């Protein structure tokens, strides 16, 4: 299973996210890196794989594209959520996986070719207009099998930064809902949670807070794999 380091960018800095309350996100200077400047931060963390959310572009109040392209040069693969709403907004670089979030999508799912669909969850339901109101994550994942995305990310926004943990039965339900590649982000608490995701058949886990708190060794994201 891939292990991907998550980075949220806001106002030019790496910030610490918690439960989707983005207005409260502040530069991440309390963790393993003394600097929240993205380049300096990556020098300390040295991940193999990187997930980047451009929170300013998602909120339509800024753009970190140039920084993201520089960060992509320093990792093997980079998944990026820039708030893409249409296929034309994809970054076409060889090691970049574009992410289309249900939060921001503004085109039919069948218009996208490649990239990852992020099933964005708040309080147990999928947000945005990609699916009907009250759609459950498993239902959205099943529907995604009919699309041309390379895979899906189950992003539990309510649990981001909280290290609330993973319920094994929930993980198994999600994994059985799609035949596509599936990554999980939000609330991963410990090595035990990585075992749960790996045993359930997930292709990747997206983590950050648990690493900075010492619950998951930094070496795991530097190696980029867990089994």
The pTM for the full model equals 0.95
How is residue 59 annotated by DSSP?
A: T
**Number of neighbours of residue 95 by Cβ within 10 angstroms:** 12
Average pLDDT in the chain:
94
pLDDT at 14: 97
Q: Which residues lie across from 117 on neighbouring strands?
A: 100, 152
Of 19-33, 72-86, 138-152, the poorest mean pLDDT is in 19-33
CB-CB contact of 121 with 87 (8 Å): no
Task: Look at 215 and 163; give whichever has higher pLDDT.
Answer: 215
CB-CB contact of 55 with 30 (8 Å): no
Of 17-26, 51-60, 72-81, 116-125, the poorest mean pLDDT is in 17-26
**Number of neighbours of residue 162 by Cβ within 10 angstroms:** 16
């Amino acid at each position: 299973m891939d292990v991907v380091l998550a980075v949220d960018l806001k106002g030019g800095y790496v910030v610490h996210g918690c439960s989707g309350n983005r207005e409260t996100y502040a530069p991440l200077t309390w963790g393993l890196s003394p600097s929240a400047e993205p380049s300096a931060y990556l020098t300390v963390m040295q991940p193999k794989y990187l997930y980047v959310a451009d929170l300013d572009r998602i909120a339509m109040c800024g753009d970190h594209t140039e920084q993201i392209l520089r960060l992509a040069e320093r990792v093997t693969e980079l998944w990026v959520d820039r708030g893409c709403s249409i296929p034309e907004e994809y970054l076409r670089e060889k090691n970049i996986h574009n992410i289309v979030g249900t939060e921001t999508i503004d085109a039919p799912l069948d218009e996208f070719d490649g990239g990852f669909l992020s099933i964005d969850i708040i309080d147990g339901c999928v947000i945005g207009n990609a699916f009907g109101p009250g759609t459950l994550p498993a239902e959205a994942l099943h529907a995604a099998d009919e699309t041309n995305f390379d895979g899906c990310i189950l992003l539990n926004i309510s649990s981001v930064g909280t290290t609330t943990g993973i319920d094994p039965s929930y993980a198994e339900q999600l994994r059985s809902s799609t035949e596509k590649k599936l990554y999980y982000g939000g609330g991963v608490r410990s090595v035990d949670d990585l075992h749960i995701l790996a045993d359930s058949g997930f292709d990747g886990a997206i983590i950050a807070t648990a690493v900075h708190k010492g619950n998951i060794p930094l070496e795991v994201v530097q190696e980029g794999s867990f089994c």
